[in-house]
Amino acid sequence: MDKKDINIESYDGQDAFYMGTDEEYAQFLKNADIKMDIGSDAEPVANTQRINLNETINIQGVIDRFKKTAGEIESGAKKIKESVVNRMDSLKAKKETDSTEETQENVCGDNSYIANKVTDANDKIKDVSIDISQLSRKLDSLNERLNSIEQTGIANKGEQLNAFGNITSEVKSVSDDIAEIKQAIASVSRLNDSVFDLKNTQLNTKNAIVDLETGIKRLKKKCVLGVTVLSILSAIIIGLEIILMLS
């Protein structure tokens, strides 16, 4: 058989093993003119012809394609990185915005709390002012009655002189207390005004409100004490008036 008439089909990779007979395989090797001699007279590998791979394979082209692919990968990585950074910046900005809105809500809430406390303090100041007015009227009434007693001359009658002096001293003490209370009321009013000025410094404002409430409680106690003292003095003056009528 002529070698030119041999048609060898290319291997398509579908079969893992040669499926022909031994005779067909031997005939194939014979016709392919492949030297399988590996005996002592075989040509050494060192004497075989060397092939220049640069001539058979375009290595530079492969390198260029590799660089291009690497560049595309790098470019894609940069885009992904930029996308991630932009996303992180967006989330950070949103978080800061949410935090600002939350802070504003807290400030508004604190301002509402402060406003309610100030209103409550104003109401208490009005109550204390009413008590002070009542004390002042009672004190004026006592002073008038003492002046009347003094004009009748009872202050010059022996044992009643000391009693009158004590009453006068007590009335003066109550008068001083009322003056102190009035001064405290003025201070409370100024403190109340400062509460509005300090609404932007919430911590100081809250402390001021606490001081304000504490001051109001003290004033209430002083008012109660003043009423008690004036009631006692009124009883003493009534006794003096009775003595004056009987004398």
How many independent structural domains does the chain possess?
1
pLDDT at 212 over 70: yes
Residue 119: inside a domain: yes
Residue 24: inside a domain: no
128 contact partners, CB below 8 Å, separation of at least 6:
181, 185, 188, 216, 219, 220, 223
pLDDT at 105 over 60: no
Percent with pLDDT over 70 in the chain: 15
Residue 193: inside a domain: yes
- How far is it, in rounded angstroms, from Cα 8 to Cα 125? 116
- By residue range, what is the domain housing residue 220? 114-246
- Give the mean model confidence (pLDDT) for residues 212-229: 73
Least confident stretch, 52-56, 58-62, 71-75, 167-171: 52-56
Q: What is the mean pLDDT of the chain?
A: 62
- Give the mean model confidence (pLDDT) for residues 135-144: 67
Residue 190: inside a domain: yes
Under a CB-based contact definition with an 8 Å cutoff, are residues 241 and 149 in contact?
yes
- Residue written as tokens 């392919």? 32
- Give the mean model confidence (pLDDT) for residues 119-144: 67
What is residue 115's predicted lDDT score, i.e. its pLDDT? 63
Residue 181: inside a domain: yes
Q: Find, among 188, 243, 174, 241, the residue nearest to 218 by Cα.
A: 188
Residue 5: inside a domain: no
pLDDT at 133 over 60: yes
- Give the mean model confidence (pLDDT) for residues 173-177: 64
Residue 27: inside a domain: no
What is residue 68's predicted lDDT score, i.e. its pLDDT? 63
Tell which wins on pLDDT, 52 or 150: 150
Tallying the residues shown for the chain, one arrives at 247
- How far is it, in rounded angstroms, from Cα 166 to Cα 133? 24
Residue 47: inside a domain: no
Q: How confident is the model at residue 197 (pLDDT cuts 50, 70, 90)?
A: low
Q: How many CA atoms lie within 13 A of 227 on its CB side?
A: 11
Radius of gyration in angstroms for the set of CA atoms belonging to the chain, rounded to a whole number: 57
- Give the mean model confidence (pLDDT) for residues 72-91: 62
Q: How confident is the model at residue 53 (pLDDT cuts 50, 70, 90)?
A: very low
87-91, 161-165, 207-211 — which one is most confidently predicted on average?
Answer: 207-211
- How far is it, in rounded angstroms, from Cα 232 to Cα 227? 9
The one-letter amino acid code at 113 reads Y
